[in-house]
Copies of this chain bind each other. A is one copy, B any other.
């Protein structure tokens, strides 16, 4: 907060290329704020010149806070020796992302210059599939053996701490690197120095498999209020840890993706205002066209009722939009409730029956309530009484079918291995629109032709 006041000075130092002043300012300002200033420069030449003049240790920290585009631009300009140094110093989970985004030639030139242990670590982490625990874990965790005494463990930690992302949880491994327990640094500090680790460690460790999807990992960590969760392979060997800050990022990213899908936008993967214009158009036009085709069905449905219904009872057509919208809205409601519950892990495929019963009843009740308002309107507008019956029956039918389709579709999508969020919002609304128009026209035709 205080240091934000120094931002203009920092910017001034960069713009006047006062590298000595820059170094001084950098020593007192948090790296994330320096990175923010770099982003605001919006000039890659200047960003590069600044980056070049910051000392390697600090620049690693700043680099980790930069957005991907700028990271990639800087990586492209860095001499490969310096890039190799940068990779060696970076957090293990962050540097893998950089390497993944480099082209093969650049990788082939750079990787041989990275120290062997670090290189092997990168090559191992690169293999994990996107969206799995392995893809966001880091390998710079602290591990000890169970037969150490507390004071020996502390000595080991002191030696290793500068290279560890966190030393607040320390993992206890056996000779095969299998995870057998955990001690927190708090436990270590509180324990008698001569106690054995085996005596003070907790054995009921919350852990995740390396292939588990990141959303489930996030839920586990949030559920148990952990700082980090250990990741093991199929032989229970510790292969990495996932820390709380990465989990917050996952949670935020997932929520953004879901919100965009619910609004019929393919996830942007970037900030809205920073995204290129054509990227946004592309992410939207796919959905807009798909939904347009889906809605096309409504033209045919209406056309088929032209003679016999709209010809005779003109006022029936006036209520098409309101029937459509009400069905769509109740569908969106059901969809957003169920989609979010799935995302939170509260709801699984096996609950489909409970969901269906609940939504069936909700739909009937909601339709009846809205239908009463509809009847009042019909009376007030002076349409015939039998049309009031058409309206309330149609509203009950569309809210019920909307609620059912809206709530069950996300489960169907999940069953098919697709993102349930796709099946909410406009997708459901379009589906329900056409169904709603069909229901309304059928009921109107059946009832009104009887009364004629």
Contact = CB atoms under 8 A, between A and B. Distances in A.
Interface in A310-347: 310, 314-315, 317-322, 324-326, 328-330, 332-333, 335-341, 343-344, 346-347
Nearest to A189: B158
Pick the most buried of A203, A259, A280, A370: most chain B CB atoms within 10 A of its CB. Answer: A259
A256 interface: yes
9 contacts: A221-B248, A258-B259, A271-B344, A273-B346, A288-B326, A306-B314, A321-B321, A325-B429, A329-B426
Contact of A298 (B289, B321, B340): B321
B32 A224 contact: yes
A259 B336 CA distance: 6
Contacts of A315: 303
A265 B204 contact: no
Given A324-B324, A340-B260, A373 B429 contact: no
A423 B133 CA distance: 35
B325 A302 contact: no
Interface in A365-385: 365-366, 369-370, 373-374, 377, 381
B227 A227 contact: yes
Number of copies: 2
A207 B186 CA distance: 24
Nearest to A243: B225
Pick the most buried of A223, A262, A289: most chain B CB atoms within 10 A of its CB. Answer: A262
A185 interface: yes
Interface in A273-298: 273, 277, 280-281, 284-285, 287-289, 291-293, 295-296, 298
B259 A339 contact: yes
Interface stretch (A7-15, A70-78, A103-111, A354-362): A354-362
A272 B328 contact: no
A116 B26 CA distance: 46
A62 interface: no
Interface in A17-53: 28-30, 32
Given A263-B336, A314-B306, A333-B265, A227 B244 contact: yes
Interface residues of A, number: 117
A373 B285 CA distance: 12
A190 B158 contact: yes
A322 B296 contact: yes
A238 to B, nearest CB: 14
A430 interface: yes
Contacts of A168: 168, 185-186, 227
A362 B281 contact: yes
A268 interface: yes
A393 interface: no
A333 B287 CA distance: 10
Contacts of A207: 1
A401 interface: no
A424 interface: yes
B288 A333 contact: yes
Nearest to A377: B296
